[in-house]
Structure 1
Amino acid sequence: MQSNIMMTVITVFLFSSAAGASGDHAGGHGPAATIGQPGKLQNVTRTITIDMSDAMRYTPAELTVTQGETVRFVVRNSGKLKHEMVLGTEQELTAHYEVMKKNPEMEHADENMVTVQPGATGEIVWQFTQAGKIDFACLLPGHYEAGMKGTVRVSRHATAIEPSSAAAVLTEGVIRKIDKANNKITIKHGEIKNLEMPGMTMVFQVRDPLLLDKVVAGDKVKFRAEKSGSAFIVTDIQPE
């Protein structure tokens, strides 16, 4: 009973600053949210892979995004201990950690965090609506104090980033390189008509990392690409 009460208290605290003026759903994040709001998978502008280790470190621990971006975090636990990634302000994370120390059996499952078992992978999809600094940390007892922390610096953008409005068409190309660690793919391609881009060899980000499992270097493919902000993103790959 005590754990349930404490869970309610800390959840309310964590999201009170992010609720803004919206009251249309429980724990909701309004447009004035301090750390942003849950994102939609179809609006993801890039994917960032983060490794969590038993050295109590995130790799990478310093990230930079642009205001308005929707980021898909693929969070991998390479250790033998359970770890988590929680987004928040430093004040919120510190307060939450103090509660976790007193109630180590407490479980939480908010949209700004993911708990990952050893050898497993989890995800957070998050839209960064406000410029500034956002922290993330593992709040399991002992991990936060050991330095398992990181930061996301959100640079200011005049307008929110939206996916390209032009319909993405299939373009022929040949896979030159696959970089699964960074969710990137190098393609020698013909003209990409919806982007008004001539044929060349370039590096794209990949919206869904699973697309990289469909191809290998040397494959002839047809693919779709969009521009979102300053990023060129492959949204679909079809091996020939």
Structure 2
Amino acid sequence: MKNTLCNTALAALLVLTSTGTSAGGNHAGGHDHADAIGAPGIAANATRTVNVEMTDAMRFNPSGIDVKQGDTVRFVVTNSGKLKHELVLGTEEALKAHYEVMKKNPGMEHADPNMVTLAAGQTGEIVWQFTKAGKVNFACLQPGHYEAGMKGAVNVEGSAAAAELTEGEIRKIDKDGKKLTLKHGPLKNLDMPGMTMVFQVKDEAMLDTLQVGDKVRFEAEKIGGKFTVTRIEAVR
């Protein structure tokens, strides 16, 4: 029965995702979040850690969080109350749709990368990369909690650096050599025209979320005499 309920929720959220408004996305943890609110992040690439407390007063502390476009944030979430609470990142539309499903199916269990559900006294984490400027909402979708005002928002400040990322396409991934072959446009900071070339990667964990054929936006520098990708994000 739980699988059937999860599939019902998944179907509703995927409809929203296809229009670029979903945060719930894939209950198996896919890439359907990226168009609207960002993408699952890599803990090793986290640029900051934000501690969030969830209380039985139906509030998040803090309820407003400021980040910069491109930041990968590690949210350390603690439930200081006696009730079950959760923090779910998403657009307002997707959160409302997800909440309606939760009200109809209060026993539904889910585990997406954009959320954490915690029993009383527990602490958990979400690692998320905010790839677009604007507002990303978050809420507790346990029945009754959303309506009681358990909501917040992440304000994502636009980054000039993010706008200057170079577009490219992955042609080859060499995990053993920590290398990436990219067909790319001009790299202005390196005074280099568009071409296909091999780059080192600053962090081999970058390669874990990428696939050959992916369209990407990236930043590269010359480090120790080697052309090195220091930041990269897939364009799904």
Counterparts of 2:36 and 2:6 in 1: how far apart (Å)? 26
Instruction: Determine if contact 1:66/1:155 at 8 Å carries over to the other structure.
Output: yes
Matches within 5 A, 1:1-240: 1=1, 2-13=4-15, 15-16=17-18, 17=20, 27-29=30-32, 33-160=35-162
Structure 2 unmatched ranges of 5 or more = 23-27, 164-229, 231-236
Counterparts of 2:31 and 2:104 in 1: how far apart (Å)? 27
* Deviations 1:89-111, CA, capped at 9 Å, x for gaps: 00110111011111111111100
Seen in structure 2, the aligned counterparts of structure 1 residues 160 and 43 have a Cα distance that, compared at 3 Å, is farther
Amino acid in structure 2 at the alignment position of 1:39: G
Secondary structure of 2:54's aligned partner: strand
Counterparts of 2:135 and 2:72 in 1: how far apart (Å)? 16
> What's the RMSD between the two structures over aligned residues?
2.3
Amino acid in structure 1 at the alignment position of 2:144: G
Structure 1 unmatched ranges of 5 or more = 20-24, 162-227, 229-240
Amino acid in structure 2 at the alignment position of 1:28: H
Counterparts of 1:14 and 1:59 in 2: how far apart (Å)? 28
* Deviations 1:56-80, CA, capped at 9 Å, x for gaps: 0000001110000000000000000
Secondary structure of 1:115's aligned partner: strand
Instruction: Determine if contact 1:82/1:118 at 8 Å carries over to the other structure.
Output: yes
Instruction: Determine if contact 2:140/2:146 at 8 Å carries over to the other structure.
Output: yes
Counterparts of 1:144 and 1:123 in 2: how far apart (Å)? 20
Aligned-residue offset at 1:7:
3.1
Q: Between the two proteins, what is the percent identity of the paired residues? A: 59
Report the TM-score, using the length of structure 1 for normalisation.
0.60
Amino acid in structure 1 at the alignment position of 2:36: T
Instruction: Determine if contact 1:7/1:108 at 8 Å carries over to the other structure.
Output: no
Instruction: Determine if contact 1:77/1:121 at 8 Å carries over to the other structure.
Output: yes
Seen in structure 2, the aligned counterparts of structure 1 residues 142 and 26 have a Cα distance that, compared at 3 Å, is closer
Aligned-residue offset at 1:159:
2.0
* Deviations 1:4-41, CA, capped at 9 Å, x for gaps: 4313324424644279xxxxx973147x6210000001
Counterparts of 2:87 and 2:49 in 1: how far apart (Å)? 15
